[in-house]
Amino acid sequence: MNTTTFIGENLLPGQIGYFLTILSFVASLVATFAFAKAFYSQQIETEIQWNKLAKTAFLIEAVAIFSCFIVLSYIIYHHLFEYKYAYSHSDMSMPIQYLLSCFWEGQEGSFLLWSFWHAVLGLILMTRAKKWGKNINGVMTVLNFTQVCLATMIVGFYILDFKLGSSPFILLRNEMQWPILSRPDYLQFIKDGTGLNTTLQNYWMVIHPPVLFLGFASTTIPFAFAVAGLLKKENNWMDSVLPWATFSAGILGLGIMMGAAWAYESLNFGGYWAWDPVENASLVPWLVLVAGIHTCIIYRKTGTSLKATYLFFGISFLMVLYSTFLTRSGILGDTSVHAFTDLGMNAQLLGFLLIFVIPYFVLFFIRYKNLYETPAEDEMSSREFWMLVGSMVLFLSGLVITSITSIPVINKLLGTKIAPPEDAAFAHNQVQVFVAIIIGLLTAAGQYLKYKETPKSYIISKLKMPILITIVMSSVIYIFIGVAYKEKGIGFTGAIYVALFSAVYAVVANLFYWLSILNGKLKSAAASIGHIGFGLVLVGILISSSNKTVLSWNTTGISPLKEDNSKNNPTGNPRENITLFEGLATDMGKYMVTYQRDTLDGLNKRFFELMFKEKNSEHQFFLYPDVLKNNKMEGFSANPAAKHYWNKDIFVYVTSFQDHSESDTIRFKPHQIAIGDSIFYSNGYIKLEKVLINPNKNAPVGNNELVLQMTVTSKEGLKYDATPGILLEGMTLQQELDTVKAQNLVLSFNKVVDQKKGVLEIGIKESASLTNLITLKVYEFPFINILWLGIIVMTIGFMMSSYARYKKLKAK
């Protein structure tokens, strides 16, 4: 037993935190058992007794989780680097607004955040128990069992040789094997932590994870209602689940797109969505959940699609668990930039997934015959028929995304060597563009249809005007904006045009339905508003992505970048990265761009001031992209900057910059030249036009000057004047160097070699250290604000629906 007394350690917070994690684990076990007993109790008195114990245990569990949250925040905020979590995820220079990001950067903190939201949702369920139906004890049983599983992820104790979870309260000296940690005074040598990952030092990462994890946690509730219904063979929970399901879809969708906004502002792949496996893993539960909401509505109206509702609500939550396994097990390897570091918990993560997947599907198939649906053959003109078709399309869309994303898992399990798609984005886009077409059309026409059957004349009369308006609006978009993306052939380009028509139709038809059929009333407009938002999202994605334009084509002919076709290379084609020299205005298409200066913020972040001036007007603006030194790996991470207009964004990030730490050791190379001769350099040639003797008429008497008038021509055809010379002041001879910064050239006039033949000697030096230079990637995203507007409108629609359905439930 180690009896060493370590100087300066603050052990109390860790001891309290560790106790609280154990308490939350035990309390969640007790609550799970007690709620299950109450759920199966046949007598009211017994149910009340078990309920009382269950609620008490849950309250203890919730208080323990909230207290854990506070204790870990205290450790991070006070920089207690004796704890591994604080040391690994924060540092002394961390701005206070990013300290919360430190909390959920690691797996342990994010699991605790997930538990936090479960506790909040559980308290809401418990305090409004009567509103959610008699199966509420079953719902709380599932919720608390999920809490048990989450608690195991952060308890961090051993069962024989198996470590259960990883505690955020473990001491650095108990986890790392550094020799210095055995010293009693080791803390005096640990001056700082390793800090927050540079890509997470963005305000979106303060708010995106909490919203996303609230979305993840909320999917547990529809799943729990489904499990309780299967266990009791009761299907009367549909009204109770809809407020939760619509809330969950709204919050999860918002959380996903907050992540897209973070990627747009912080990552340098040039956009908001890259079909990264982690992005995909969060999107699929949302798609399936939305499918489940629609089949649930079908069942309430017609008594059909019950089995599909159970399946979709179940799969939605199970896909959240699958995404947890994917992102935290390390199985994705280098296929994702978002995945967590592997903590050696693969077996536990897999167990977390399977302990829900296997029982749920076993229970579903055992109860399958009891899932009675009204025997009816849906008419093709009925609303429920097309709602079911749309739900199946969303489900199949999620299935395709999952199958492509899961290639590393398939290879790991089966020992295969299936190669992921070379162009992952197109592999998804070529399928999802047709999903957009179908869902857009169904979203537009669906609300005009009636349940059971809709007369053909009614459909034509109601849809005629929205279709005409859509044709006009789409034509305007095609003519004045169009689709610039032509890389994958005419077929795919044509599909984008059709999808764009479908998306516009979804907006117009739902807006028309709200204003004409519902007479503009907000009370019943939740579905229309949600669908308008979804249509705007599709319009924004299709226009901004298909017309994304590279503005930064290199016009200088100089680039420090090398060709690199790897998929994680943010620079892409070097020719798409313009080189800028400090203080020199450079032609970039419709703009002249000047790299004004750069400033160093502390030791890690360098800001670059860029001035953009339109050629055809006096309009100009400044952007300040920055690069941040990676604290988790070598190199720098680029943070983009964007100029936002109502109709476009100019998106900029630095792909390379001059490193000032290295001195210039390159020497001049001598060359002989005569008037009219040319000498080649790496990017063009230099021609001696003539020799000027004492060109400065105002020079002091006695000064003699010899100046060479030279023209530098780059291989791109750009011409620059250069005038190196020699000045004789009395008995002092000095060289007058001339620098062509845009070509990294310094020219010197060394001496006259042969006066009779007119042969001179010049010196040429090519050096990237002559001046500060950077390379930029610049994109233009047209009408991207339509996407962000659509997200806001769609979320409002979901929240309106959730509130309206809760009000109806409350009125019963």
Average pLDDT of the chain, as a whole number: 89
Encode burial over 304-332: b for 16+ CB neighbours within 10 A, e otherwise: bbbbbbbbbbbbbbbbbbbbbbbbbbbbb
Asked which of 323-337, 387-401, 506-520, 721-735 is least confident by mean pLDDT, the reply is 323-337
CA dist 338 and 511 (Å) reads: 37
Please check the confidence at residue 700 and state whether its pLDDT lies above 90.
Answer: no
Q: Using one digit for the tens of pLDDT, what is the confidence trace for 775-789?
A: 999 999 999 999 999
Report which of 202, 252, 12 is spatially closest to residue 637, judged by C-alpha positions: 202
CA dist 511 and 505 (Å) reads: 10
Which residues are within 8 A (CB) of 577 and not within 5 positions of it... i.e. 6 or more apart?
552, 554, 559, 561, 571, 655, 656, 775, 776, 777
Q: Which residue has the tokens 């010196």?
A: 763
For the residues 22-33, what does the mean pLDDT come to?
Answer: 97
Asked which of 51-55, 126-130, 667-671 is least confident by mean pLDDT, the reply is 126-130
28 exposure class (CB count in 10 Å sphere: 0-12, 13-18, 19+): buried
Q: What is the pLDDT confidence band of residue 279, given thresholds at 50, 70 and 90?
A: confident
CB 137 within 8 A of CB 105: no
Q: Using one digit for the tens of pLDDT, what is the confidence trace for 716-740?
A: 788 899 999 988 876 777 888 898 8
Beta bridge partners of 725: 707, 736
In the prediction, which pLDDT does 2 show? 58
Report which of 677, 635, 675 is spatially closest to residue 656, judged by C-alpha positions: 635
Which residues are within 8 A (CB) of 239 and not within 5 positions of it... i.e. 6 or more apart?
133, 300, 805, 808, 809, 812
Name the pairing type of β-strands 684-693 and 669-673.
Answer: unpaired
Please check the confidence at residue 769 and state whether its pLDDT lies above 80.
Answer: no
CA dist 638 and 628 (Å) reads: 6
Please check the confidence at residue 569 and state whether its pLDDT lies above 70.
Answer: no
CA dist 410 and 418 (Å) reads: 8
Please check the confidence at residue 647 and state whether its pLDDT lies above 90.
Answer: yes
In the prediction, which pLDDT does 634 show? 65
CB 751 within 8 A of CB 623: no
Tokens of 55: 């609620």
Q: Is 456 strand, coil or helix? A: helix
Q: Which residue has the tokens 């299936």?
A: 418
More confident residue, 319 or 555: 319
Report which of 256, 288, 300 is spatially closest to residue 392, judged by C-alpha positions: 288
Tokens of 684: 């063009």
Q: What is the pLDDT confidence band of residue 566, given thresholds at 50, 70 and 90?
A: low
CA dist 628 and 577 (Å) reads: 19
Q: Which helix (H) or strand (E) holds 726?
A: strand 725-729
Beta bridge partners of 740: 745
Q: DSSP readout, 398-418? A: HHHHHHHHTHHHHHHHH---P
CA dist 62 and 140 (Å) reads: 13
CA dist 81 and 59 (Å) reads: 32
CA dist 716 and 619 (Å) reads: 28
CB 312 within 8 A of CB 286: no
CB 438 within 8 A of CB 538: no
Please check the confidence at residue 632 and state whether its pLDDT lies above 80.
Answer: no
Q: Helix, strand, coil % (nearest 5) of the chain?
A: 55, 15, 30
Q: Which residue has the tokens 């993560």?
A: 349
Q: Using one digit for the tens of pLDDT, what is the confidence trace for 502-551?
A: 999 999 999 999 999 999 888 889 999 999 999 999 999 999 999 999 99
Q: Which helix (H) or strand (E) holds 432?
A: helix 424-445
Please check the confidence at residue 343 and state whether its pLDDT lies above 60.
Answer: no
CA dist 575 and 577 (Å) reads: 5
Whole-angstrom CA distances from 548 to 121, 724, 779 are: 41, 44, 7
Backbone angles phi, psi at 605, to 5 degrees: -115, 130
In the prediction, which pLDDT does 706 show? 87
In the prediction, which pLDDT does 344 show? 60
Please check the confidence at residue 336 and state whether its pLDDT lies above 60.
Answer: no
Tokens of 761: 């000697």
CA dist 691 and 684 (Å) reads: 21
Rounded-to-10 torsion of CA 364, 366, 368, 372: -110
Backbone angles phi, psi at 535, to 5 degrees: -60, -40
Encode burial over 723-746: b for 16+ CB neighbours within 10 A, e otherwise: ebbbbeeeeeeeebebbbbbbbbb
Beta bridge partners of 788: none
CA dist 769 and 776 (Å) reads: 18
Tokens of 315: 């799969």
646 exposure class (CB count in 10 Å sphere: 0-12, 13-18, 19+): exposed
Rounded-to-10 torsion of CA 218, 222, 225, 227: -100
Handedness of CA 467, 471, 476, 482 (dihedral sign): positive
CA dist 621 and 598 (Å) reads: 16
CB 740 within 8 A of CB 558: no
Handedness of CA 95, 99, 100, 103 (dihedral sign): positive
CA dist 307 and 391 (Å) reads: 13
In the prediction, which pLDDT does 277 show? 84
Q: Using one digit for the tens of pLDDT, what is the confidence trace for 92-149?
A: 888 888 888 899 988 999 999 999 999 999 999 988 767 666 789 999 999 999 999 9
Which residues are within 8 A (CB) of 71 and not within 5 positions of it... i.e. 6 or more apart?
13, 16, 17, 20, 169
Please check the confidence at residue 677 and state whether its pLDDT lies above 80.
Answer: yes
Q: What is the pLDDT confidence band of residue 292, given thresholds at 50, 70 and 90?
A: very high
Q: Which helix (H) or strand (E) holds 655?
A: strand 648-657
The maximal CA–CA distance of the chain, rounded, in angstroms, is: 121
Which residues are within 8 A (CB) of 342 and not within 5 positions of it... i.e. 6 or more apart?
328, 329, 330
Q: Which residue has the tokens 């001598």?
A: 670
In the prediction, which pLDDT does 693 show? 87
In the prediction, which pLDDT does 4 show? 74
In the prediction, which pLDDT does 695 show? 84
Whole-angstrom CA distances from 555 to 552, 575, 593, 714 are: 9, 9, 12, 10
In the prediction, which pLDDT does 777 show? 93
Most trustworthy range by pLDDT among 14-28, 125-139, 261-275: 14-28
Report which of 227, 257, 225 is spatially closest to residue 242, judged by C-alpha positions: 225
Q: Using one digit for the tens of pLDDT, what is the confidence trace for 176-214?
A: 888 899 899 999 999 889 888 887 888 888 999 999 999
- Percent of residues, the chain, with pLDDT higher than 70: 94
Please check the confidence at residue 603 and state whether its pLDDT lies above 60.
Answer: no
Report which of 206, 271, 268, 218 is spatially closest to residue 243, judged by C-alpha positions: 218
Q: Is 642 strand, coil or helix? A: strand
